[in-house]
């Protein structure tokens, strides 16, 4: 498939799908954790990137690449973490 849009039969095993579903539920719990603790984390780590995994902060850095390295060094899979740049700067998105 080279254009945009959805298409074709999905090749994904039941086992992998179960793993994805569990991963998504885990990820969403971390999203909710970040939302619920956002102000507290912002007070603590202004102008920093934070990573949340297993409903706790597992990495903090001013540079997102260093944060990824930090996570890997700790054995945390960065691709499954919720990462956010914490700032009080008011930004309007017109994406």
Partner 1 sequence: MIRGYFDLTRGMLRPFVDAALVFPALARRRVDVRLLINTGADRTVLSPGDALPIASLLGSLPPGPALRGVGGTTTTRRADVVITMATFSANLTLTIFSPSLGARSMPSVLGRDVLSHFALVVEERTDRVLLLTPDEADRVNWP
Is residue 19 within 8 A of residue 54, CB to CB? The reply is no
Element (DSSP H or E) covering residue 51: strand 48-53
CA distances from 58 to 6, 48, 74, 79 (A): 35, 13, 9, 13
Give the interface size with partner 1 as a residue count (CB under 8 A): 42
Q: Residues 62 to 91: which contact partner 1 by CB under 8 A?
A: 64-65, 68, 77-80, 82-85, 87, 90-91
Decide if residue 18 touches partner 1 (CB under 8 A).
no
Binding site for partner 1 (CB under 8 A): 1-12, 16-17, 20-21, 23-24, 27-28, 31, 34-35, 38, 64-65, 68, 77-80, 82-85, 87, 90-95
């Amino acid at each position: 498939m080279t254009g945009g849009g959805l298409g074709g039969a999905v090749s994904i095993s039941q086992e992998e799908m179960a793993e994805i579903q569990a991963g998504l539920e885990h990820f969403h719990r971390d999203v909710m954790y970040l939302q619920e603790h956002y102000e507290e984390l912002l007070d603590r780590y202004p102008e920093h990137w934070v990573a949340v995994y297993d409903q706790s902060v597992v990495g903090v850095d001013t540079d997102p690449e260093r944060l990824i390295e930090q996570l890997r060094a700790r054995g945390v899979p960065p691709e499954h973490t919720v990462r956010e740049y914490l700032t009080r700067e008011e930004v309007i998105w017109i994406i």
